Amino acid sequence: KHKTCILGSAEAALKMEPSLEKEGLIGAVLVWDHTTDDLALVRRIIQTAQSLGAKAMEHSPVTSYLYDSVKKIFTVKVSGTVYYAKHIINAGGAWADQIRSSATHEPSEMIVPVAGAHIQAPIFSRNSCILQAPDNRIFFIINRGGQARIGTTERIEKNPDHVAATKEEVDYLLAGVRTFFPDTAPSKEKIISTDAGIRPLAKPARTTAPEKISREHEFIKDKNGAIHVLGVKLTDHRRAARELLKRYFSV
């Protein structure tokens, strides 16, 4: 379970995190959270699925799928090989729209591809921190494996195959860190690496700024029966899977 503890004074906060900016500091909240190895978790999920009869393939893009309304079956092309299936569940993440378009041959806009950048730097704070940037956005510092991971940003990125941290994003994150750790924040020269990924958020009915889009997942079922899974986070994948099976397959 997550736990919290109120540090109700600047003195208490500085005792826990001495490098914090003192001006304007009135206290902090201490939070206990969980960590995970995302790669190991995904591999374990795949291995479990394989042990139950699933076939898993890497580097195997879905190039098209078609639905035969007479035979009530899907024909799916994966890297030149044809497969047949009674059901299609598109959990393509940042590529979900591309997969859907391969069947409809029309533009698909189910998701808003919001890119987020991160910085890896030497550790400069005693604790991992959740902070609020000068523009009121939340960002984090996670100390793990001898390095500090700083993130994240939000911008629209239409090309999921070539997403990377921009100079503007790096400058933004460093400026946010300097606001709270003016004496110990890393300089640009101290950066070990940068990276970026895409959060495939379910597209809202009305256009809005990326930071205002709901982080809740959604399911869309086409008239041909294909089910599209949108906006599922790794931390919520089991609940989302159970919800999908219960809604569409009565499992």
**What CATH number has the domain bearing residue 122?**
3.30.9.10
> How much is the pLDDT for 2?
59
Same domain, 198 and 209: no
> How much is the pLDDT for 48?
97
Same domain, 104 and 116: no
> How much is the pLDDT for 1?
52
> How much is the pLDDT for 3?
67
- Look at residue 5 and tell me if it is in a domain: no
- Look at residue 197 and tell me if it is in a domain: yes
Same domain, 135 and 197: yes
Same domain, 134 and 196: yes
Q: Are 199 and 116 in contact (CB under 8 A)?
A: yes
pLDDT in tens, 141-158: 999 999 999 999 999 999
Q: Round to whole Å and give the CA distance between 139 and 146.
A: 20
- Look at residue 132 and tell me if it is in a domain: yes
pLDDT in tens, 180-206: 999 999 999 999 999 999 999 999 888
* Model confidence at 8: pLDDT above 90: no
Same domain, 118 and 54: no
- Look at residue 223 and tell me if it is in a domain: yes
* Model confidence at 140: pLDDT above 80: yes
**What CATH number has the domain bearing residue 87?**
3.50.50.60
**Closest among 33, 24, 61 to 140, alpha carbons compared:** 33
Same domain, 100 and 210: yes
The two tokens of residue 183 are 């004496």
- Look at residue 13 and tell me if it is in a domain: no
What's the pTM value of the predicted model, to 2 decimals?
A: 0.87
Provide DSSP, the chain: --EEEEE-SHHHHHHH-TTS--TT---EEEEE-----HHHHHHHHHHHHHHTT----SS--EEEEEEETTTTEEEEEETTEEEEES--EE--GGGHHHHHHHHH-S----EEEEEEEEEEEE--SSS-EEEE-TTS-EEEEEEETTEEEEE---EE-S-GGG----HHHHHHHHHHHHHH-TTTPPPGGG--EEEEEEEEEEPPSS---GGGS----EEEE-TTS-EEEES--GGGHHHHHHHHHHHHH--
> How much is the pLDDT for 36?
87
- Look at residue 15 and tell me if it is in a domain: no
Q: What percent of the chain has pLDDT over 70?
A: 99
- Look at residue 32 and tell me if it is in a domain: no
- Give the number of domains in the chain: 2
Among the three residues 171, 186, 202, which one is the final residue of a domain in this structure?
202
Same domain, 166 and 218: no
> How much is the pLDDT for 35?
83
Same domain, 209 and 106: yes
Confidence of residue 212 (pLDDT cuts 50, 70, 90): confident
Q: Which domain holds residue 195?
A: 112-202
Same domain, 127 and 193: yes
Q: Phi and psi of 138, rounded to 5°?
A: -85, 135
